[in-house]
Structure 1
């Protein structure tokens, strides 16, 4: 990674901010009391939480549905 160049551009290069973001976006939801997750379930909720945190929720809601509804 070109850390020196990124710092010259005024961008942050530390990992602490990323780790804190993961903790707040993902950890708070997955580690609540009494919760047990499958890998597929955790992956799905992580994808939704990341979309919500990145303000891209509308992109998910406006995506055409490709699954068949059940009766």
Structure 2
């Protein structure tokens, strides 16, 4: 499932990411554990936390990031 569709409050692990250089420069990588903090209404961006940082990801990019829930 994509990180944009992720509904859980738990953390998730990134399984596959698009080739967007900005994401890797921000520290997002495959295998990384992240948590969806908020999702903006009307197709807006989502806010993802990783460690002590939070970043906003546009809906079209977030739909390309595949994740798996961590229990």
Given the two structures, how large is their TM-score scaled by the length of structure 1?
0.19
Q: Which has the higher contact order (CA 8 A, sep 6+)?
A: 2
User: Of Structure 1 and Structure 2, which has the larger fraction of its residues in strand?
Assistant: 2
User: Of Structure 1 and Structure 2, which has the larger fraction of its residues in helix?
Assistant: 1
